[in-house]
Structure formats: C-alpha cells, structure tokens
Structure 1
Amino acid sequence: MQTRSSVLSLAFPIVGVLAAGSAAAQGAAWADPGPWRTSISLYGYLPSVSGSSNFPQPGGGSDVGVRAKELLQNVQSMFMGSLEVNRGRWGVFTDFAYFDLGDETSGTRDLFIGGNRLPADASASVDFSVKGSLWTTAASYRFLSYSDWTLDVFGGFRRIDVEQRVSWQLGGNVGQFPLPARGGNLSSGTTNWDPVVGVKGRIVLGTGRTWFVPYYFDIGAGQSRYTWQASAGLGYAFAWGDLVGSWRRVDYEFQPDQPIGSLRLDGPAIAAVWHW
C-alpha cells in the first residue's frame, strides 16, 4: 500500500500538468493546428535482465523459484518499434516490444525449493526462459515548446504479457528434497494492464541543430504494484529522420500473489526514426 501511494503521489502532479495544458489549449481551439506529422521508429535493444519468478507445484508441492539475473544471460530475440502521430500540440503514440530470453546452465545454486536456496553440497541444471511483450499507448500534449527543447506530457496505459518456463534437475546431496522437487518442468505467466503518465521530449545541442538529447519517463500502477520506464540518449538528425543511441530501462514490481515477483530490462538501444 505504501508503494502504491508513492506511485500515485508522483503521478498526480503529472496529471495536473496535463490538465493545465488542456485548459490552456481551449483558447486556441479554433486556430489551425497545422499538418499531420508522423514518425516510425525501429529499435535494436540489448538489455540485461533481472528479477525473480515463482513456479507453484501442482498438487500443493514445494514451489520452485529462480533469480532471473543469474540464469538469463542470452537475448534470443528482441523486437521494438513505435508509431507517433501529431497535429498541433496534440498527439498519440504507441510503442511495442517483444522479447524472448532464455538460457541453460549447470552447477547453479540460484534455484529455490520451497523458498529455500539449495545447500552448499547440492546444485542444479536449469533451463529457464521468459517470453513476452510490452505495449504502451498514450495521448500526449506539447506543454512546452522552445527553439532548443520540447516537453510533452502524456497519459495512457501499458500492457505486459509474460510467459515463463523452467526445467531443472538437482544433483549432489538432495536427500532433504522430496522426489517431485528433484526435477521437473513447470510454466506460469501473467498479463497486467497498468495506467501510466509521464513526460518526453528532446533537447537540441549546438547551433547546427543536428545533435539532440531525447528523453522519456513514465510511471504507473494498476494490476502491478508499480511500473516505470525511462530512457535518454544522443541523436543525430538527417533530412529523412534520426539515428538515436540511448539507454533504456523498464521496471516491473508485480503483486505478491502473482507468479512473477519482478522483472527489469536494462541496457543500450539504437533506433532509426523516419519522419514525414
């Protein structure tokens, strides 16, 4: 409850700014907003992954838990893209990411049986994978616009859909574990919808106006305890669009009764952005 209150205390000022921007726009309701502007972005993303997952045993056996940071080292596939449409100060955007993460490891102790880590004289061979998607959609308002920087405020939602699988086989001194816990295959997953609010924009560098710093931040809570996403980087503007290198982090803390405890994607991204 304290975490949810903290998230809301951060979200309300942003919502207030969005409402103020809407009121300021009423005086210019009949002004020509200008042409439609569209941009499409395609990303390459190489995140490190951390978090925790829990797999309930069928029939009431001991739960199996894993720590993703130690067991997920390979990004098997990752696709990210976004679409944004603007007219005047108003706009909408959508951002989609698909990830397929997995790895096999042997001799690890980063497996938990019944909430307890494996003892020093036991280890496990583990095959762990996480597949899922992130979809963010929001309406935006250009609250501030100057020659060298912009600030948009926005509100919308993010959906996360995650499916995870684990197979394991214990070795060493495993006499303390019941037979069903010494090896097996389990799967679990979750789908959460969370309202989000945030800010985004760019800061132009130098007199040539070709280099710029893009920034983005959002925060929200709903079916998740909280979620936030942030990115910042350096871009170069061409006649056809932009090339952008950035660092991006997505953070989720799930509810205690959900099979996934937390999930974090954190790493570099490169994007090509086309404007027309």
Structure 2
Amino acid sequence: MAITKRLRDTALQLAFVAALPTSVYAQQSDWSYQATIYLFTPETDVSQETPNGTVEGTLAFSDALENLDLAFMGTFAATNGRWSILADYNYTDLSFSNDTPGQASSGVETSLTTQFLSGYLGYRVLTTDTSTVDLAGGFRWFRTQTDFTVLPGAAPGRMVNVDESWTDPVIGVRARMRFNERWSGTGFFDYGGFASDSETWQVLLTADYAINDRWLLRGGYRYISFDHEINGGDFKFDQSGPLFGATYRF
C-alpha cells in the first residue's frame, strides 16, 4: 500500500509539473489573430509633374474591373490585451487610357504596377461596453512602376516613366463600435510623411457582420493618397472606392 501511495503521489507531482509550463504559456501568449482578404475596385488617379507639364491618368470606378489586370488587398492583425499589431498590403496592376484636352496630344495611355505595405503597432486607450479606440504608429512603404505614353497630336508623342519606392512614418487612430451581437462598425484614419516632399494619408470605414465566432463579412469605403517628389517633380497617386471583404478570426 505504501508503494502504491508513493507511486500515485509521484504521478500527481509529475502531472502538475508537466501542466505548469502549459498553463504559464497560455497566460503569457493570450494572442488573438484575424486575417482579411478584400475585393477593392477603386477609382485611380495618378500624375507626374515634368518640365514639359504634368502628365496624368484617371481610371473611373465604372471601368475599374474592366481595366484591372491583377489586384490583391489583405490585412493581418494580432491583439494581446491593450497591444495590437496590424499589417496592410495592397497590390494593383492596371492599364487604361484617357483623352486629353486641346490638340497637343491625342490622348495618354497609362500602365502602372503599384504596391504598398503599412505596418502599425497599436495601443488601446479607450474601452467601453460597446466601443474601443486604439492609437497606432508605424510606417508605409510604397513602390510604383508607372509608364505614361503621351500620344502624338499637334506636338510629338513622348514617354514618361516613374520607377521609385520610398517609406514614410505614419500615425493613426482606429475606432470600433458594436451595435448588437451581429453588427459592428470600424473606422481607421492615418497620416504620414511629415515632410514637404512626401505626404500620405488614408480613411477606411467598414460595416461588419459576424456570421459566427470565426467569420466576419465587411463592406465599406477606402480612400488612400500618396504625394511624393521624384526627380524634382510632384508624383501623386490616389485610390478611392468601395470594398468588400471576409475576415477569419483565430
């Protein structure tokens, strides 16, 4: 009996020791994650200032899908208590053409491949029964390969090429409000650059519907803007329009 009791006590001690690291790890790694893929069909405006004048191209929302060669937009978020990490990546491959005023040119053809990646570290500053507010700071990296072909008219045709990348610091605020068990809303605003030759900002608003604990459907609107000096000329890129997405939480 003494041997049996000793073996039982030893087994209980080993079980406790084995479970202890798991319990500590669970307390120290209380992270939650969510990944979202969006369909974003924006209106796009891009322009480059040159010594011969500004060249610009515009793709209307109604033509976005027809002229879209490839697009991807996705976000990933991780949250632990008041702290959060957020990454947002966008890739767009577009080609389109526009008429030009006057007789100097018969039009302009635009082809662009653009990527941007935003990364943030957030801290929750307000929590209520139905809402939260986070402040965030981070960066936005932008990369573009844009070709403008100015078609000949009264003046000869010409090519304008933009191949550049840069990174801006950004600060932002994110607010989330819960309306009921299924519906909630999210708003996000950021601003960056903080220099005379570089500026970026965005607004993102979504209405969110929870299918269950794991899946969330989103619909909303996004406007994002870049303004950066390249080779002494002002380069501008703006996208705005509706988006639809699905989020998986784990």
**CA 1:195–1:188 in 2, change beyond 3 Å: closer, same or farther?**
same
Of 92, 100, 109 in structure 2, the residue corresponding to residue 109 of structure 1 is 100
| Distance in 2, Cα, partners of 1:70 & 1:271 | 22
Tell me the secondary structure at the aligned position of residue 147 of structure 1: coil
Partner of 1:236: 209
What CA distance in whole angstroms lies between the structure 2 residues aligned with 1:214 and 1:71?
26
Whether the 8 Å contact between 2:122 and 2:135 is mirrored in structure 1 is yes
Q: Report deviation, 1:83.
A: 0.9
Rounded to whole Å, the distance in 1 between the matches of 2:149 and 2:57 is 14
Q: Distance in 2 between matches of 1:190 and 1:41?
A: 28
- Amino acid of the structure 1 residue aligned with 2:185: V
For the 8 Å contact 1:40–1:274, the answer to whether it is kept is yes
What TM-score results when the alignment is normalised by the length of structure 2?
Answer: 0.78
Distance 1:185 1:203, change over 3 A: same
* TM superposition shift of 1:152: 0.9
Deviation at 1:168, TM superposition (A): 3.1
Verify the 8 A CA contact 1:33 1:89 in the aligned structure 2.
no
- Structure 2 match to 1:225: 198
Question: Does the CA-based 8 Å contact 1:138-1:155 persist in structure 2?
Answer: yes
Aligned to 1:194: 168
What is the root-mean-square deviation in Å for CA atoms of aligned residues? 2.3
Aligned with 1:93 (options 86, 93, 115): 86
Percent identity between matched residues is 24
SS of 2:58's equivalent?
Answer: helix
Count of matched residue pairs: 218
Aligned to 1:137: 119
- Write the letter of the residue equivalent to 1:53: Q
Equivalences for 1:116-127 in 2 at 5 Å?
A: 120-127=102-109
Structural mapping, 1:107-186, within 5 Å = 108-109=99-100, 120-171=102-153, 174=154, 177=155, 182-186=156-160
**1:222 offset after TM fit, Å?**
4.8
Letter in 2 for 1:91: S
Counting strand residues as a fraction of each chain, which structure ranks higher? Answer: 2
